[in-house]
Structure 1
Amino acid sequence: MIKKEAMKIISSKQIATDTVEMVLENEYISNHATPGQFLHIAITGHTLRRPLSIAAVDSKARTVTILFKIIGSGTETLATYQVGETIDVLGPNGNGFPVQTGQKPATVLLIGGGIGVPPIYFLGTQLKKFGIQVQSIIGFQSRDYVFYENEFQALGETFVVTNDGSYGYKGFVTDVLDKTSRFDRYYSCGPLPMLRAVSDNLRGNEGYLSFEERMGCGVGACYACVIPTEDEAGYKKICQDGPVFRANEVIL
């Protein structure tokens, strides 16, 4: 259930170029958030809330970790918030990644691009708890934007890709798909062109896609974030029905 909560900032630091990791404290959200869900955060001086993915939770410490990229005045303001301040949050929002759908997969492939990397890291930590083997591909613009490489390596074999080749493999996440071992299911989060390329390259495989999208209300009332689907409904709302969908469910 979505609730309006005050979350206290425990820590905030820049971990890569224009990328901030912020740890927030809240008992309810840390106990109810699942991989793929997001927080809808109110920012001083801005009318619309900002949807930010969850990178980790620690129910014992009552903390939730978010990562965000500074790309506009809203996230610029959020990055200035100090430890000890509180943030007005709606959450946890949306439907996340299905972890136990049908037969439990033995091996999964996680594919993330840019700020789509945090939610699949959260997912990976949970999959490991179920004894599922994890391999990952994470893509960034360049060396300066790379983050969480060691954290992914702790989950399993990880391939880092940069657009300019300044770190890891050169190209896009789809350029190293042939280097991965066999997998039973894939999960991916990132910008739409990346998700389209992943879906096209892995057609025929069971997969789930999580969409990054600008949102208005964040609770399905304004119809600002819709996506065409294959079912009779025609369109679904990313904030409410998603942000995670079956790869063969959406029209890209």
Structure 2
Amino acid sequence: MAISLTALVEEADRFLDAARIQDYCPNGLQVEGSPLVRRIVSGVTASQALLDAAVEAQADVVLVHHGYFWKGENPCVVGMRQRRLKTLLSHDISLLAYHLPLDLHPEVGNNVQLARQLGLTVEEPLEPGNPRSIVLVGTLAEPMQPGDFASHVRDRLDREPLLVEGSRPIRRIAWCTGGAQGYIDQAIAAGVDAYLTGEVSEQTVHSARENDVTFIAAGHHATERYGVQALGEYLSGHFGIEHIFIDCPNPA
């Protein structure tokens, strides 16, 4: 079965309500390929490794969280960018990318999907009145010691996290996938026992230690594998087309 690329893009845009969200990159169709779609390949980032795997899988669309054309980047089509675009265009493959809309979505979003992976119950956004608030606050079913929770994260995400250990058990927790370590001070002000994200900065460690809050950096890539898979599965089920998730491991 094949559907039109236009129908696929329109449904993804509608489902994620992408037009309402200002972002650091264009969301939606970034590179146009074949007008018909039979197979979607999804992945975290539109790296050359993912594109090569998509070519091998005979994909018509590559669906990612991290696409191209970020604000402030050199717009020249040279080097790595030329090779990536050439791969897409020469194989008639479309690139469909969603950044903040995929972080924020209440069903397939990265943060909600990470909560499901880790067994966290979502209570509210960290900033309830802010429509762009991507940090969530919630609870564990039972309190866990920081080291035990870090082991749980490792087992669920298949990656050893960085742990800054607080002194108290973890029950209430804030989290945000990717590079959201800068929200740690707001999370501390909200009275959580722990804050989890993908990346860590030097000052993040000091904030955690000096406020006696557990901090876990579980990996940018590792924490953002689940939203794009869920979106791919939604589109696959909605249109009756094939979806394959391909993980290109990244230690960061």
TM-score by length of 1: 0.33
Structure number with larger C-alpha Rg: 2
Q: What TM-score comes out, normalization by structure 2 length?
A: 0.33
Structure 1 or 2: more strand by fraction: 1
Higher relative contact order (CA 8 A, sep 6+): 2
